[in-house]
């Protein structure tokens, strides 16, 4: 699998510029220590087994920030069919039908995922994650390499890198929607349009809008805890590991990046190679939302990668 030639400057915090330079010594693990014990949450999930025909090693799909297991329903069914492997599409903490908690960083997300693998006795799974889910999958693999057989990281890299400026805008827009106590999706979309110009992005965000659970209320509310996630944006930009000499995943890893996205620039490839020495790279004609923007090309890349490993 070959990557298309390109060079896009990484959107990194200045204090982390040297963190992706292989010629410089790496720092130690970040302050929230990778071995810290947090309260793991029981995660909601959908199970896809292609009518009982999928019997191979499991696949676990992790969505991105503001997403849910529903975003990966079609892809989950396709992979279960094409690979003959059962697929678990999970809701990460503070998303979808999973519980909420004030702690939202990659160590907490990884511990939830590891707990899920243990609860369901999943042996040699492949973890597929997009964006936030990609960094979660990478964190699981580096914390506990024996917990998975391979990972597929979609449009994110193991570096501290600022989120696109769109994400704070999305949060602000969702907060404005809740403050307005809207009663219809149309009202919410009109408010959100000022913060998210693209209709597909607004539709993605509005999948989280539900009737307020308060019995006396007659307005809509986001089922995700917008305030918690707003306060966690910096944590979503970080990555909890910085020393590939201490934490490395020696098993197969596929990195899929969107050709119109900045999250996996050429400058990040050396550090990816140090953390994941067996990594392969595939470019998909898409922006950041690779799976929804170009599902067929993404599906082909995943199937080819996993079939090669069988």
- pLDDT digit string, tens, across residues 275-294: 999 999 999 999 999 999 99
In this structure, the answer to whether residues 202 and 288 fall within a common structural domain is: no
Res 214: pLDDT: 75
In this structure, the answer to whether residues 152 and 251 fall within a common structural domain is: yes
Rg (CA), the chain: 19
Res 63: pLDDT: 98
Residue 8 lies in a domain: no
Domain span at 130:
14-161+239-308
Residue 2 lies in a domain: no
- Last residue in a domain, options 231, 254, 272: 231
Res 39: pLDDT: 81
- Selecting among 68, 95, 288, 292, the annotated active-site residue is 288
In this structure, the answer to whether residues 25 and 111 fall within a common structural domain is: yes
* 279 within 8 A of 253, measured Cβ to Cβ: yes
* d(C-alpha 85, C-alpha 75), whole Å: 13
* d(C-alpha 245, C-alpha 152), whole Å: 21
- Last residue in a domain, options 215, 231, 247: 231
- Rounded to the nearest 10°, the torsion over CA 127, 129, 134, 139 is -30
* d(C-alpha 145, C-alpha 163), whole Å: 27
Annotation says 288 is catalytic: yes
Task: Specify the CATH number for the domain of residue 102.
Answer: 3.40.50.1820
* d(C-alpha 126, C-alpha 155), whole Å: 17
Residue 186 lies in a domain: yes
In this structure, the answer to whether residues 126 and 254 fall within a common structural domain is: yes
In this structure, the answer to whether residues 85 and 144 fall within a common structural domain is: yes
Closest CA to 238 of 162, 167, 143, 166: 162
In this structure, the answer to whether residues 143 and 189 fall within a common structural domain is: no
- Count structural domains, the chain: 2
Exposure letters 206-237 (e unless 16+ CB within 10 A, then b) = bbbbeebeeeeeebbbbbbbbeebeebbebbb
* d(C-alpha 289, C-alpha 261), whole Å: 9
Residue 287 lies in a domain: yes
In this structure, the answer to whether residues 276 and 217 fall within a common structural domain is: no
- Selecting among 76, 98, 131, 147, the annotated active-site residue is 131
Res 49: pLDDT: 96
* 299 within 8 A of 18, measured Cβ to Cβ: no
Res 123: pLDDT: 96
In this structure, the answer to whether residues 107 and 245 fall within a common structural domain is: yes
The token duo for 87 is 């697929």
Residue with tokens 């909420």: 100
Residue 9 lies in a domain: no
Low-confidence residues of the chain: pLDDT under 50: 1-36
| Helix, strand, coil in percent for the chain, rounding step 5 | 40, 15, 50
Residue 7 lies in a domain: no
Closest CA to 109 of 41, 30, 35, 205: 41
Residue 6 lies in a domain: no
* 112 within 8 A of 95, measured Cβ to Cβ: no
Q: Which residues contact 186 (CB under 8 A, 6 or more apart)?
A: none
Q: Write out pLDDT tens, residues 25-63.
A: 233 333 333 444 568 899 999 999 999 999 999 999 999
- Last residue in a domain, options 214, 231, 248: 231
* d(C-alpha 235, C-alpha 237), whole Å: 5
In this structure, the answer to whether residues 290 and 147 fall within a common structural domain is: yes
Q: Write out pLDDT tens, residues 259-276.
A: 999 999 999 999 999 999
Helix, coil or strand: residue 137: helix
pTM across the whole model: 0.87
Quote the DSSP letter at residue 85: -
Q: Write out pLDDT tens, residues 143-157.
A: 999 999 999 999 999
Q: Where are the beta strands (DSSP E) in the chain?
A: 45-48, 59-62, 87-90, 126-130, 150-154, 209-211, 220-222, 253-258, 279-284
Closest CA to 219 of 178, 189, 190, 172: 178
Res 31: pLDDT: 37
Residue 4 lies in a domain: no
In this structure, the answer to whether residues 51 and 147 fall within a common structural domain is: yes
In this structure, the answer to whether residues 264 and 150 fall within a common structural domain is: yes
In this structure, the answer to whether residues 181 and 282 fall within a common structural domain is: no
């Amino acid at each position: 699998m070959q990557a298309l030639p390109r060079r896009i400057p990484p959107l990194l915090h200045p204090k982390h510029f040297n963190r992706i330079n292989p010629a410089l010594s790496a720092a130690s693990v970040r302050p929230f220590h990778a071995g810290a014990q947090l309260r793991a949450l029981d995660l909601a999930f959908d199970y896809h087994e292609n009518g009982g025909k999928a019997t191979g090693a499991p696949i676990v799909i992790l969505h991105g920030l503001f997403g849910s297991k529903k975003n990966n329903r079609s892809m989950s069914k396709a992979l279960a069919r094409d690979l003959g492997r059962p697929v678990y599409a999970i809701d990460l903490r503070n998303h979808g039908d999973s519980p909420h908690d004030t702690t939202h960083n990659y160590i907490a997300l990884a511990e939830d995922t590891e707990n899920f693998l243990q609860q369901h006795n999943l042996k040699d799974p492949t973890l597929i994650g997009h964006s936030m889910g990609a960094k979660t999958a990478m964190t699981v693999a580096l914390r506990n390499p024996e917990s998975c057989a391979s990972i597929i990281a979609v449009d994110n890299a193991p570096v501290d890198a600022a989120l696109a400026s769109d994400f704070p805008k999305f949060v602000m827009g969702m907060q404005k929607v809740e403050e307005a106590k809207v009663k219809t999706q149309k009202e919410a979309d009109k408010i959100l349009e000022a913060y998210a110009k693209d209709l597909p992005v607004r539709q993605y965000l509005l999948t989280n809008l539900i009737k307020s659970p308060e019995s006396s209320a007659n307005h809509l509310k986001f089922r995700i805890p917008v305030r918690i996630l707003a306060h966690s944006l910096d944590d979503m930009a970080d990555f909890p590991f910085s020393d590939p000499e201490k934490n490395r995943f020696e098993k197969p890893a596929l990195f899929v990046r969107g050709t119109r996205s900045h999250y996996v620039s050429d400058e990040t490839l050396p550090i990816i190679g140090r953390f994941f020495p067996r990594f392969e790279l595939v470019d998909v004609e898409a922006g950041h939302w690779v799976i929804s923007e170009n599902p067929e090309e993404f599906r082909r890349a995943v199937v080819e990668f996993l079939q090669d490993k069988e």
